[in-house]
Structure 1
Amino acid sequence: MNNLALTDYLAQKNFPIVTKEYKKYLLYEGIQDHHVYILKSGVIKTSVISKDGREFNLEYINDLEVVSLLKDEYSQFIDAPFNIRVESAKAELYQIDRIEFWKDINQNFDLQIYVKNYYRERLMKSMKRTQQMLMNGKFGAVCTQIYDLYDKFGIEVHEGVLIDFVVTNEDIAHFCGINAASSVSRIMNQLKSCGAIKMHNRKILVKNIELIKDNIIF
């Protein structure tokens, strides 16, 4: 997504910045709030809790991006649609009154385009993720998550591409709708055995991305 309009908008304003440390929550699903939050730096994770109490991870966000859905432009308070938790050492977020943000959007054509693209990409991501979860099975779902991490956090090193972010088997399980981290562990061992990945200082090193992609229905 082209964030130039959002970058310009933030540069023109003097919004307060909220700083949260590792594993601290910015929002809890269902709790009312009257702000829009935009990630300035760091990594956050969004998740929801199912009716039986299980956590389901939605995505990691590590770029300048709106991280709380905007919803309608008339309600001063809205229920947070998901949990937002900091996954890096700390994260900084712009805090904007949501009514003020909507007024600014309505007066700024470039921001309107940004918001339209924001919702369009959110919808496409949701549809793609649902398709991959339904069609790939557990093994394919884990491969899909590794591919997403590779795309978001990957840096080239001598042996391949290092996912420069520590992700536990439990977190991967929560992204894939898998009940037990042990199931993810078995799949990870299979990927190690076939030469697709290896572990390096608790991080995933992707040695052969094609072997990962072979197990994903795009």
Structure 2
Amino acid sequence: MVLTDIEYLISYLEAHNVPKIHKKRHTYLTYHGLSEHYTYILKQGIIKNSIILQDGREFNLSYIAKPDVISLLRDEVSKFTSQPFNVRIESDEATFYQIDRVTFWKYVNATPELQNYIKNYYRKKLSENIFRLQRMVMNGKKGAVCAFIYSLIDLFGRQISEGILIDFTVTNDDIAGFCGISSRSSVNRMLNELKQDGALTTRDRKFIITDISYLIDHIAN
């Protein structure tokens, strides 16, 4: 069986007995701007990446819900590097591989398969950053909310009789943070519009998308 890049990385870490750590819900793994000498690889769980803006507000960047390296956005030779964003645990628990960052890069430089993973990692992160920028710049507030909810389908979507269940609880505060909206009341107003227009409903604080074409129609192409 041919392993995917991330499957190869996980098997490599296991073979080299890289230690694992466990973090509970709403605790932080790293903080934006603080020095860190570890590289972290998510094995299991859901995390949220965010940064702190100059006015003190938290701006959300992404959810990660599959095994992946948390951040490689710094050079490979420095033992310590400042963290590019906050990483908060959003599932009940998350498990990470924790490896000295210089050791991690030694593994990468010695292994073509890991080099391929890193190349694809940076390509994927660039694509995600472009998408987030487009969502912020090309859509109004309502379009940004529609685009964000639509993006949750790949991460947490599950088909049920009523539509597509987003099987994860997302708060209005988090939506505001992802969409660059200053208040949760604005988010609440837009969500009510989606519900009144028949595009969205909720059950047990989780979204059910009942009209996916409505979301697509409100996202700028």
Q: TM-score range by the shorter chain?
A: over 0.9
- Looking at structure 1, the residues matched to 42 and 21 of structure 2 have their Cα atoms a distance apart, in angstroms, of 10
**Pairwise mapping of residues 79-94 of structure 1 onto structure 2 (< 5 A)?**
79-94=82-97
- The one-letter amino acid of 1:204's match is F
Partner of 2:173: 170
Verify the 8 A CA contact 1:69 1:81 in the aligned structure 2: no
| Post-superposition offset of 1:10 | 2.2
RMSD: 1.1
Q: In the alignment, is the contact (CA less than 8 A) between 1:48 and 1:82 conserved in 2? A: yes
For residues 86-121 of structure 1, the C-alpha deviation after alignment (integer angstroms, 9 at most, x for no partner) is: 011111111011101100100110110110110111
Q: Which residue of 2 aligns with 1:124?
A: 127
**Cα distance in structure 2, aligned partners of 1:206 and 1:73:** 42
Map of 1:95 onto structure 2: 98
Q: TM-score, normalised by structure 2?
A: 0.96
The residue number in structure 2 matching 1:39 is 42
Secondary structure of 1:120's counterpart equals helix
Ranges in structure 2 where 5+ consecutive residues have no aligned partner: none
Instruction: Look up the equivalent residue of 1:26 and give its one-letter code.
Output: L
Distance 1:56 1:70 in 2: 18
Q: Secondary structure at the match of 2:139?
A: helix
TM-score norm. by structure 1 comes to 0.97
Q: Structure 1 CA distance, aligned partners of 2:36 and 2:194?
A: 42
Rounded to whole Å, the distance in 2 between the matches of 1:139 and 1:2 is 36
Structure 1 segment 43-82 matched on structure 2, within 5 A:
43-82=46-85
Q: Which amino acid letter does the alignment assign opposite residue 180 of structure 2?
A: G
Counterpart residue type for residue 193 of structure 2: Q
Q: What is the distance in 2 between the residues matched to 1:186 and 1:151?
A: 25
User: Structure 1: which 5+ runs fail to align?
Assistant: none
Among 136, 139, 142, which residue is 2:142 paired with?
139
> What is the CA distance between 1:11 and its match in structure 2?
3.1
Does the 8 Å CA contact 2:5/2:114 hold for their aligned counterparts? no
Number of residue-to-residue matches in the alignment? 218
Matched AA of 1:128: F
| CA distance in 2: counterparts of 1:2 and 1:183, whole angstroms | 41
> Which of the numbers 189, 192, 196 marks the counterpart of 1:189?
192
Q: Distance in 2 between matches of 1:114 and 1:14?
A: 20
- Structure 1 runs (4+) deviating above 4 angstroms are none
Q: Which amino acid aligns with 2:19?
A: P
Q: Distance in 2 between matches of 1:16 and 1:77?
A: 19
Give the SS at the match of 1:91.
strand
Distance 1:123 1:81 in 2: 15
Q: Residue 2 of structure 1: CA displacement?
A: 4.4
Aligned to 1:161: 164
Residue 198 of structure 1: which of 194, 197, 201 is its match?
201
State, as a whole percentage, how many aligned pairs show the same letter: 50
